[in-house]
Structure 1
Amino acid sequence: MTRATARFRRTASALLAIILTFGTLSAGLAAAPAAHADSWRDKQYWLAESGITKAWEVSKGAGVKVAVIDSGVDAQHPDLKGAVVGGFDVSGSGSPDGQKSIGAKPEHATLVATMLAGRGHQPAGSTASPSPDASGPGPDGIVGVAPEAQILSVSTWLGSPNPAGKSDQDQIPEAVRWAVDNGAKVINISLGSTTPQWPQSWDAAFLYAEQKDVVIVAAAGNRVGGNIQVGAPATIPGVLTVAGLDRKGVASIDASSQGISIGVAAPAENLLGGIPGGGYAEWAGTSGATPIVAGVAALIRSKWPDMSAKQVINRIVSTAKDAGTPGKDPLYGFGVLNAEGALKDPVPEAASNPLGSISDWIRVHRRGNVGAPSVPLPTADVPSAVATLPEATVPAVKAPSKRDSALAAAVVVGFALLFLAIIAAAVFQLRKAARNPRPAQEDPDTGTLDRVHSGGKT
């Protein structure tokens, strides 16, 4: 086995172990029977706290298709009635329409979809029209961030061995290309791997999405799932990577990894969503933070249909509320999501995507031609190889302890006193030499200046 082959197999193994950022933090997923709005809607704190209810005054996502690349959305869930308008299975193990729940976490896609574009539902026997208004009386169930957006369900089998034998290296690029070709303006990828690297076979698909002006939003990953640093595909340049916040609005210890590719942070704990069969669950993880941000992207694309993907991303990150270390940092990215600002604030046009470009990355790291064809290449025509992505992790900044601060102060004072002592000694020697001037003598052995005589014998 060659060294290159060994490296490739290690990378492939890490990707096949792809942890569907399936944020569902161990004990965080708890199924529950259907409930009325007063017991579920009131718990959707992110709708108000992230400025989403205010953003609804401008847009609710009408006319925008959002592809959910995940485990297959249950279109029969009462809160998704009319929301799922199409789909496709890329795993070979699901239903042709992509709406069968499959994989290691079959409920995952439905949780994501309801948070993104849930429409709630009317109580049995009610004839009133639905109203996605979280601040007052409304339908039962979950209302998504973009309740008028449309969902495309692209089912994948990830997190465990695929019965059809199709790996993530084939599924992910095929899913992205299908979503682009079928009208998705936003793609939600709430999954991630344990490595920042990605197969070269993914390059063409993400480049294709960039060239077709599609916004891709991906989860940063969860520490509790083993993702200390952000993993692919959230490390791909141009992708809007979402980190997670706890209930206090601080970077989540369990539900968020860190890395230089993070664009924005959103709520990731104490989340609610629908599960296959019409039920609901509480869950946590950047998997849930991602559809919140993808939903905001859909609101923007609905309000400004002609706005480019890079400008949509720029609106989201430039209106985010700065947190952590001033400026962009590896825990919060540009800051905490501010949906109202993203929909209402004046934002200068950006010259480029603030999160980079896969086109530029390929030019530098693959040394390839970025002028890719306008139609997607078959996966077989794009050879896999170990990616050359540089280290993506930047250590988190920690506040110094009192002991460290005291020690640092003592060191500074010590150096200052030493410096003053040296100056005083130099002044003393100069004055002494001025009173008894004698030429310096050259050492005959070394040819260097040896010492200054101050009188007497030597």
Structure 2
Amino acid sequence: MSFRASAPLLIAAALLLAGCDRSSSPGFPNQTVTVGQGTSAPLTANFTGSWQITNVPAWITVTPLSGQGPMNVTVSVDRRAGTPLTADQPELSGTFEVTWQDVLRRSGTSTVQVRAAQFELTGRITDGQTASVQGADVAVQALRAQEPAETRGVIVKYRAGGAVTAQSARPEARAAATLRAQGVNVGSVRALDARTSVLRVGDVRAALAALKADPAVEYAVPNAVLHPQQTGPLVFPVSPTDQYAPLQWPFRVTGYQAVWKDMQAGAYTRPVTVAVLDSGVRFDHPDLAGGLWGPGEGALDVLAGNNGDSDGPDTDPTDPLVSGRVGGSHGTHVTGLIVARWGENQGSCEGCSTTGVVGASAGAPVKVLPVRVIDAYGDAEVADVVTGVRYAAGLPVTLDGVTYTNPHPAQVMNLSLGGGISAQDARPMCDAIAEARAAGTLVVVAGGNGYSTVPYYPAACTDAVAVGSVTLSDPGTLTHAKYSNRYAQIVLSAPGGSDSVTDAFNGALLNGARFPDSVFSTSWNYTKDQPSYEGMSGTSQASPQVAALAALLLSKGVTTNATDTLERLIATSRDLGPAGRDESYGFGVINAAAALNAPAVTGLRVVDDAARNLLPRVQGTGEFRAWLGDGTYRVIAGTDVNANGVFGEVGEPRAETAVTLGASQPSVRLPDLVVR
């Protein structure tokens, strides 16, 4: 029998396609409208004929949108709607099109580019232990080095029997009189005991010098501010700079900004193989270079017959192009979530991203072993899944008279496939998974997208780790995804997302429009036969995130086998829903930071008047720079203790201030944000 890898309604959303160049006619030339730091600018053109404006980005408004004769329109910008999640663009730029026809019945489409300058916000996050010395000379730096990080006046103690004038018999009065005589501003004054006083002063250094010059003073010291003891300096998150990384919200909400920082210490050294049993993979996708075991290294296509590549079982599990295929590559998408490379890649087509997305494993020595068990039409037979599972675990399999043995037996296996077949009919798959588990492989399986309580197999097999899906219900809150099946065998959950733009909470923009809460990864554009990136939603996307985290546990040496890896995943998961295990979430949502003992990271979020959380990158020194639209913002620095991607929530260490930016105040540097 055969069954679908996943529900078609939930597999794909927001396919990113490269746009076509549209040449303009000399009848209406391409133009640029520069708004600068204003909110609008005119677009005028002498023209005889009709024109219509289309494809206007969401952050740009053009009025009117059509007309006859000369063009005289107003272009307005809403910078808030156009500011990317990372707030890292000094200038917003977007284009719209003018379709026109002149009196000679010549027609064409021209492009208008709109440019709007952003406003600059800078500052630094600190724990208060290091004073800022920007702009100070060496002498001032030396003086600051001798001071506590923060003081609130001075404490002075007079000697016993010291001379006190009648008019200032109390020590706090004498201290205040001494300081005022030296020109030091004195605020509140209070006695600590008969000989000791505390005074709030405007100049701590001058106050200390004046008091120490008084022979009646036993000592004078700063009234230093003390804090709860910290385990060390603030740790700032690692935020990838790859083009589409801001769209990859699942990594933020499961603690990977802390995990990727942890990786920089070099503890992830053990090689791990993750077998991905899926539709095959595009080995020629530049963002997967170096992350795959290829043909001749263990990769295998187990399919026979009419499977899309018409060459039967072999060692090339490429996800093929077949006539009429227009969707993306499911196997390539799943694989990218685990091993998509960071930074520059060798883009292989004009207009393709040279950085793309990131995978969970970052620089860890994790590789994917592609095993093709789903054909080009989205179907997988039970027998082929059985063969693929046994092969991936290192057990020999024979196909068309040829015996294959995997040279890289997988420590972890991912199956983003399944169906609502009976437990009896699933026995061959369950037997194969039991064999794989006995061989030392942790088998992770998508729980199913059936909107039901029906157990899907092979996820419901006793030795499988069935994974349910969660999505966002606000920027930092996860909830059960309505399509994700609920049943007793669900073990863990991970972000599988949603393709609804209406209910999008991740805060990111794609091509100037709100990006849905789907899961963004590598894919393939079969229409153009070239690399692409795509958003998909489903338990197919949740399952590889569990597999990737299992691989990282083994790579760091936190765990050493399938049993303790699963125990660690469960023990560190974030319990949602009813207390304990339940049918929607299993034991809970994976928490990568907790599982891998990564340090809590401190970062920044800037909240606009629409309650959108922007996440500017923070340098290793704590310095930050954000490019924002005009308006008033809450600026919150804080430690993400619960690793949900929201810095400085209520109850977490934080510092908060407010700032207004606009043409009258285009650049602001904040005082240090002291997180404690």
Task: Please give the TM-score of this superposition, normalised by the length of structure 1.
Answer: 0.62
Match of 2:302 among 81, 90, 94: 90
Aligned match of 2:384 in 171, 185, 192? 171
* Matching of residues 8-407 of structure 1 within 5 Å: 12=1, 16=2, 18-21=3-6, 25=10, 28-33=13-18, 37=241, 39-56=243-260, 57-58=262-263, 63-86=271-294, 87-92=299-304, 93=307, 94=309, 96-102=314-320, 107-122=329-344, 140-147=355-362, 148=364, 149-158=366-375, 160=377, 168-181=381-394, 182=406, 183-197=409-423, 198-223=425-450, 228-248=453-473, 249-254=478-483, 256-269=484-497, 270-276=518-524, 277-304=530-557, 307-344=560-597
Distance 2:284 2:242 in 1: 23
Report if the CA contact (8 A) 1:323-1:332 is conserved. Answer: yes
RMSD across aligned positions (CA): 2.9
Deviations 1:83-140 (A, max 9, x none): 1113101112346234321599761000000011111451669xxxxxxxxxxxx971
CA deviations over 1:352-407 (Å, ceiling 9, x no partner): xxxxxxxxxxxxxxxxxxxxxxxxxxxxxxxxxxxxxxxxxxxxxxxxxxxxxxxx
| Residue matched to 2:50 | none
Does the 8 Å contact 1:23/1:222 carry over to 2? no
Letter in 2 for 1:265: S
Unmatched 5+ stretches in structure 1: 1-11, 126-137, 346-458
Does the CA contact (< 8 Å) of 1:61 and 1:299 recur in 2? no
Per the TM alignment, residue 22 of structure 1 is displaced from its structure 2 partner at its CA by 5.8
Asked whether the equivalents of residues 242 and 357 of structure 2 are also in contact (C-alpha less than 8 Å), the reply is no
Cα deviation, residue 330, structure 1: 0.0
CA shift for structure 1 position 232: 0.3
Q: Distance in 2 between matches of 1:193 and 1:42?
A: 33
* Counterpart Cα distance in 2 of 1:123 and 1:204: 41
Name structure 2 gaps, 5 residues minimum.
20-239, 348-352, 395-405, 498-517, 525-529, 599-676
Structure 1, residues 27-50: CA drift from partner, whole Å, max 9, x if none? 62523349x956511111121210
Q: Relative to structure 1, is the Cα distance of residues 310 and 139 closer, same or farther in structure 2, using a 3 angstrom cutoff? A: farther
Check the 8 A contact 1:78/1:121 in 2, yes or no.
Answer: no
Question: What SS does the aligned partner of 1:84 have?
Answer: coil
Tell me if structure 2 keeps the 8 A contact 1:187–1:217: yes
Q: Which has the larger radius of gyration?
A: 2
Letter in 2 for 1:210: R
When residues 260 and 161 of structure 1 are mapped into structure 2, their CA distance, relative to the original with a 3 A threshold, is closer
- What does the per-residue CA deviation read over 1:60-94, in whole Å, with 9 as the maximum and x for residues that have no partner? 68511110000001111111001111310111234
Distance across 1 between alignment mates of 2:494 and 2:553: 17
Q: Distance in 2 between matches of 1:150 and 1:292?
A: 14
Deviations 1:256-300 (A, max 9, x none): 111111111111111101112311011111101111111000001
Aligned mates of 1:117, 1:27 — CA distance in 2: 20
Correspondence for 2:37: none
Q: Which amino acid aligns with 1:68?
A: V
Q: Is the 8 A contact 1:196 1:235 kept in 2?
A: no
CA offset at residue 306 of structure 1? 6.6
C-alpha distance in structure 1 between counterparts of 2:393 and 2:596, whole Å: 24
CA contact (8 A) 1:223 1:253 kept: no
Distance in 2, matches of 1:161 and 1:316, equals: 30
CA distance in 1, matches of 2:292, 2:541: 18
Structure 2 contact 11–536 (Cα < 8 Å) conserved: no
Residues 158-190 of structure 1 show CA distances to partners (whole Å, capped at 9, x for unaligned) of 58597xxxx712101110111111211100100
**What amino acid maps onto 1:172 in structure 2?**
V
Once the two structures are superposed, residues 293-329 of structure 1 have per-residue CA deviations (whole angstroms, 9 ceiling, x without a partner) of: 1100000111128712011011001111111011100
Partners of 1:40 and 1:106 in 2: how far apart?
A: 17
SS in 1 for 2:552: helix
Q: Greater strand share, 1 or 2?
A: 2
Give aligned pairs, total.
Answer: 311
Relative distance call for 1:266 and 1:305 in structure 2 (3 A) is closer
Cα distance in 2 between the residues matched to 1:272 and 1:145: 12
CA contact (8 A) 1:22 1:191 kept: no
Structure-1 separation of matches of 2:269 and 2:338: 10
Counterparts of 1:47 and 1:23, CA distance in 2: 24
What percentage of aligned pairs have identical amino acids? 27
1:242 partner amino acid: V
Counterpart of 1:246 in 2: which secondary structure? strand
CA contact (8 A) 2:242 2:358 kept: no
- TM score, norm. by length of structure 2: 0.43
CA distance in 1, matches of 2:490, 2:376: 23
Give the 3 Å change call, closer, same or farther, for CA 54–24 of structure 1 in structure 2. Answer: farther
Which residue identity is paired with 1:312?
T
- Name the structure 2 match of 1:419: none
- Return 297-306 or 181-190, whichever deviates more: 297-306
On the 8 A contact 1:73/1:98 being kept in 2, the answer is: no
2: CA distance, partners of 1:83 / 1:326: 38
What's the CA shift string for 1:216-251, capped at 9, x where partnerless? 111011135xx5423000001121111111122100
